[in-house]
Amino acid sequence: MENLNNIVSTDLPKMEYDFIEYYVGMAKMVVYWHVKALGFKVVAYCGPETGVEDRCSYYIVKNDIKIVITSASQPSSYKIVSFVDLHGNGIKRFAMKVEDVSASFQRALKNGAIPLQHPVVVSDDKGSVEHASLKVFDDNEVVLINYDNYTGDFMPGYKNIEDDWDVLGEDSALEKIDHVACALRLNEINLWENYFNNIFQSKTVKQFDERKVGEEKKIGMLLKVLQSENKQMNNVLVEPDHGVRSQVSLFIDQNYGAGIQHIAFESANIFRSVEVLRANGVRFTRYPDSYYEKLNAKYPHLDVTLLRKHGVLCDVLDGALLFQIFTAPIGDRATFFYEIVQRVNNYEGFGLDNIHALFEAMETELMANNAL
């Protein structure tokens, strides 16, 4: 693994995360939770009232984080209804902003991508947006999108509704999407690793292999981090080990297949974020005192008291710090959750040293929730 940090060059240097989209049973209720609990602002809406007959979609933002929350507007909206029936409320797609949708799409197809939507241009009086989409996992997709010729709030078909949702609370300090994490079935990780790296010309920069060998005590998982050259796209893939009951295999069961397990948001001040979100009713995964005792012994210069108070994990790498915390699953199934991170002194890793603590604590909580 010595050469994993030598990221290959790419001709997609401007690619970066744009929006993520949920399919849910009741969009308005999920929107309300994101507004009240996480501090998002509702910007625009599309639905039957705006000429879009099959769905109700809300576009919400927090700094550079863009989320679309969609539900079916009628029983015949089978694509949305069937996704929610099968997977529960969950992420359907995430979008990557690119300079040239058609060129990026054709390049991806040449390198093995599975097309779902060929490039299309949608327009209104504020300009035009071009987008296309590619298949990933069981029922997910990656959207390629470009807004260079559009001056509206989001996309054609959306109407501004900011005045209808004047619900401002304390600033949660959430800034942007840091990474997207995906849970896969046994023996799927190499397939999707090659798929992503081929079509986006990203590179596997980290690997964490905790599969059991014999009677070794291991977490029972294999994790890989895929990163674009400009480091704006970071996709984490994880699969369970054979015969090991884990948080990853629980997601596969509850989601009824592979999919997007969590989205990580970068915070400008994670302790402020946690204070505000906890006051708003957000539940976070708890970690045992032994984690903080070991952390204090290893890094006596850290303010472990502050970390313990807020339940935040910390990883140290060459003087740089990564603070991490994970919410409990935000829906009824033990599936999708959020991660919040803060990178100090240009920390560029992914906190792999914290994975043992993370998985042990999360498995305890997720298994307990699943037993209720």
Residues 307 and 320: their CA atoms lie apart, in Å, by: 16
pLDDT of residue 31: 96
How large is the average pLDDT for residues 172-192?
Answer: 95
Distances (CA, A) of 305 to 40, 104, 173, 289, 302: 30, 48, 22, 11, 9
Instruction: Give the range among 8-22, 150-164, 314-328 with minimum mean pLDDT.
Output: 8-22
Contact yes or no for 148/204 (Cβ under 8 A): no
How large is the average pLDDT for residues 34-47?
Answer: 96
How large is the average pLDDT for residues 117-134?
Answer: 96
Residues 286 and 16: their CA atoms lie apart, in Å, by: 32
Chain centre to alpha carbon of residue 247: 16
What are 315-363's pLDDT values in tens digits?
888 888 999 999 999 988 889 999 999 999 888 777 667 776 655 655 5
pLDDT of residue 290: 81
What are the structure tokens assigned to 299, written together?
């890094």
Query: Domains of the chain, with CATH numbers?
Result: 16-164 (3.10.180.10), 174-371 (3.10.180.10)
Under the banding of pLDDT at 50, 70 and 90, the label for residue 237 is very high
pLDDT of residue 286: 86
Under the banding of pLDDT at 50, 70 and 90, the label for residue 217 is low
**Regarding predicted confidence, which is higher, 20 or 13?**
20
2 has a pLDDT exceeding 90: no
8 has a pLDDT exceeding 50: no
Q: For 334, list phi and psi in degrees, rounded to 5.
A: -85, 65
Q: Whole-model pTM?
A: 0.89
Under the banding of pLDDT at 50, 70 and 90, the label for residue 85 is very high
Under the banding of pLDDT at 50, 70 and 90, the label for residue 236 is very high
Residues 196 and 112: their CA atoms lie apart, in Å, by: 9
The neighbour count for residue 109, using CB atoms within 10 Å, is: 15
The neighbour count for residue 76, using CB atoms within 10 Å, is: 9
What are 257-310's pLDDT values in tens digits?
999 999 999 999 999 999 999 999 999 988 888 888 888 888 888 899 999 999
Percent of the chain with pLDDT over 90: 65
Alpha helices in the chain (DSSP H): 27-38, 78-87, 101-110, 189-200, 247-255, 270-279, 289-298, 304-310, 355-371
Instruction: Give the range among 35-49, 176-190, 336-350 with minimum mean pLDDT.
Output: 336-350
pLDDT of residue 361: 57
**Regarding predicted confidence, which is higher, 78 or 364?**
78
